[in-house]
Structures are given as structure tokens and as C-alpha cells.
Amino acid sequence: MIDIKLIRENPDLVKENIKKKFQDAKLPLVDEVVELDKKARATQQEADALRAERNQISKQIGALMKQGKKEEAEEVKKKVAEFAARLEELEAQEGPLQEEIKSRMMRIPNIIDPSVPIGKDDSENVEIERFGEPVVPDFEVPYHTEIMAKFAGIDLEAAGRVAGNGFYYLQGDIARLHSAVLSYARDFMIDRGFTYCIPPYMIRSAVVSGVMSFEEMDAMMYKIEGEDLYLIGTSEHSMIGSFIDQMLEEDSLPRTLTSYSPCFRKEKGAHGIEERGVYRIHQFEKQEMVVVCKPEDSPYWYDQLWKNTVDFFRTLDIPVRTLECCSGDLADLKVKSLDVEAWSPRQKKYFEVGSCSNLGDAQARRLRIRVKGKDGKYFAHTLNNTVVAPPRMLIAFLENNLQADGSIRIPEALRPYMGGKEEIR
């Protein structure tokens, strides 16, 4: 959510930003907010003036009563009664007007960073840099579920009977590999100075609406029937939510946190053949990183966050690249975003394994996360990024570490978490 002062003072800039995101249907929201805001401020000004005048007249009544001028006092009381009726009418308008403004403000996208490339969708994202040499081996790389099945490591059929499509059982060495990657990711981030957290896996609607747009909420979140609770789609939601209604001391920033959680997503819509297996699923686990910082520090932390993910994947001998997300691919709260993609030797192309986002003060405004500084109070900036999200990441791991004889090589960094094994067979 952007600052309403920006809409008051520069509505054309807000409209231009909406156009850059190819969301022209939202353009009328700006004019609606401007008009509603004028009405709300006029209502408040009239109400404030009446309250001040009522207070002044109330003092006159007291003075008249002391002077024994009861008739005059009664006449003045009638005026106070008239003020009270009008004031009640105005106060009844104030709440609904503010709700009307808020409902529209929540749908107006955040102002994107000037460096963001302009494009309609993810097909126009811009490659920034590659890390590691993508290799295509001289032997056939099977589909990831076939690799897992050779190790008796996956059972999709049983999961289908128990929960339906989009779920899985991991077993044996593949399940151990899954857990090892998460344990390594935890220690990797702790070694980089982040505080390890395990958050609640459910959050209230006030937090959901604070961390994402309504469109994202509908597409992603599972609601608990009969409760004001949602299953988290990522631990970032729960972690940022922990700061709701907080006044942070400037000296306590930045807060750098890394969190583990299961994640639950609807994953609406039809998906292609390459998104079968464990690529696009309703339940998975993830190690996340979150930063709450001063506004001037958010560009620095944005770079640090995506570099952490690149470094993590490179320690596992997985080639990756970074892509700058274009304007049309940015969720409404994001100022800037970058995807990390891993190399798939089987597909001979990269696919997304993580997303780094700078949300500016959008989440902080919605959740009222403020900072008390030397020069006054202001809203914090929030950022997040994926460290690793198996089992999707296992696709890249298995393909890039598959050997000609069908065994899986274990990179040195991961061996302590796999009981010292150098490979699995």
C-alpha cells in the first residue's frame, strides 16, 4: 500500500505506474481515492470544527449558569444539541469513508523501482548473470520422478489415494537427501549471521492482507473452515507478521531472520508436462530469509539476499542464473524482484528455484510496522528471499549430480548431513 499523500499530490505518477504494470483496469481507483479522500477530509474538518465549537459553547453554559442566567444557558444548550446531531451524522460517515479509501488503496500497486524493466509478463524478464557452467552429460537424464523411483524414493500413487493430486511420499535416501538439504540451508544462513526461526504455520486474516495482495491471497491461500486462520504459503508471511503493530528502535535494525516451515498452496490452473511430479505441488518445505531494515538500507540487503541463494546452490555444484523480473511480473506489493533459476540438464534450460523481493514499505504500512529514529518515526522496509525449497530443488540437485552409472554424487558441503556418504546408489 502506497502513501495516500502521493495520490493526493501526484496522481498522474501513480497512474503511470499502473500503466507500466499493464493493469489499466485499476486506473479509475486513483480518481476514486482522490474524491473519497477529499470528502473524508472535509467531513473530518467539519467534525473537528464542531467539536471545538461545542467545547467552547459548553464553557459558556457553565459561565452563564454561574451568573444565574438560566434562560440564556438553556438557549445555548439547544445549539449544543444541534451540534451533537450534526456531529453524530458526520461521525457515522467517517468510518465508512475510510474503509472505502482503504479498500481501493489496497488494490493500487506499489511504485516500482526505476531500474525495473518494463514488460507484460515473465516472458519479458531479463537475464542478468550466470553462475557456473551449464553441462549436458553424454548420457540420458531421466525425468526426476524416474530418478527418485530407482532409489525407491517416491510414492505418488499412495499420496494420491491419501490426499489427491499434488502430494507425494518421499522415502529412504531421497527423503534423507530432502532433510539434509534443509539442515544444510539452516546452518548456511546461520553462518551468514541470520537468526534461525520456526514460525507459526497458520496466520490470521489481518496478517494475510498485510503481506500480500487480494489476488495472491485468492490464488494461493488455504483457509481453515470456521476459523480466522490461513495455512501459510511461505514462512515469510508469518515472519513479517510477527512485527505487526510494533514500534522498532532504529538501533535494533536490521533484523535478519532465516526461517523453516512447511508451505501450503492451492496452485490453481492447468500446468504443463514439465510441472508434474514434485515440481508444482500443494505442500512442500522451505528455508526462507527475511530482513526488516531502514529504507536506505534495503537496496544493500536486496543484493545480499539473492547472492546468498546463488552461493548456496553453487556449493551444491548446481549452475544458476539470475533474472530481473519485469514490471508486469511483479506482484502488487513489490518494488523490485529477482528470480534465481537452476540449470536442468534434462530440459537443457533453467527453471525457477527462488525469488528475491524488495517490498519497500508496502507491507510495513499495511501491518503498521514503524521505526523510532533520531529524526522521528517512519515505516520500515521489508525484504524476503528463498534460500531453498525442496522438493522442487531436488529436481535440479538430482539432475546435476546424476552419474553415468545411475548413482547420485553428494557434493562435499552436504556430506556431513548425509552421514558422510559421497554418493547414494
For residue 261, give the C-alpha cell. 516451515
pLDDT in tens, 332-376: 999 999 999 999 999 999 999 999 999 999 999 999 999 999 999
pLDDT in tens, 43-55: 988 888 877 877 7
Separation between Cα atoms, residue 290 and residue 237, nearest integer Å: 10
Provide φ and ψ at 375, rounded to 5°.
Answer: -105, 15
pLDDT-derived band at 177, boundaries 50, 70, 90: very high
User: What pLDDT does 50 receive?
Assistant: 79
304 Cβ partners below 8 Å, 6+ apart?
A: none
Separation between Cα atoms, residue 373 and residue 326, nearest integer Å: 34
Could you tell me the fold of the domain covering 4-105? Helix Hairpins (1.10.287)
3-state secondary structure of 133: coil
The mean predicted confidence, pLDDT, of the chain is 92
User: For domain 122-424, which CATH number applies: 2.40.10.10, 3.20.20.70, 3.30.200.20, 3.30.930.10?
Assistant: 3.30.930.10
Query: Smallest Cα–Cα separation from 320: which of 337, 349, 341?
Result: 341
Domain ranges for the chain: 4-105, 122-424
Residue 73 vs residue 155, higher pLDDT: 155
Lowest mean pLDDT among 61-65, 233-237, 413-417: 61-65
187 Cβ partners below 8 Å, 6+ apart?
A: none
Q: In a 10 Å sphere around its CB, with 0-12 CB exposed, 13-18 middle and 19+ buried, how is residue 419 labelled? A: exposed
pLDDT in tens, 94-153: 889 999 999 999 999 999 999 999 999 999 999 999 999 999 999 999 999 999 999 999
User: What pLDDT does 270 receive?
Assistant: 46
Cα–Cα separations (whole angstroms), residue 154 to 38, 278, 391:
60, 10, 11
Total-model pTM? 0.89
Separation between Cα atoms, residue 159 and residue 253, nearest integer Å: 44
- Looking at the predicted structure, is the pLDDT value of residue 85 above 90? no
Lowest mean pLDDT among 16-25, 52-61, 377-386: 52-61
pLDDT in tens, 6-22: 999 999 999 999 999 99
Separation between Cα atoms, residue 105 and residue 252, nearest integer Å: 30
- The single-letter DSSP state of residue 278 is T
pLDDT in tens, 257-299: 999 999 999 976 544 555 577 888 899 999 999 999 999 999 9
- The single-letter DSSP state of residue 172 is H
Q: Where are the beta strands (DSSP E) in 265-417?
A: 283-293, 320-324, 336-344, 349-358, 370-373, 376-379, 381-388, 408-409
User: HSE-up of 97 (CA within 13 Å, CB side)?
Assistant: 17
User: What pLDDT does 232 receive?
Assistant: 95
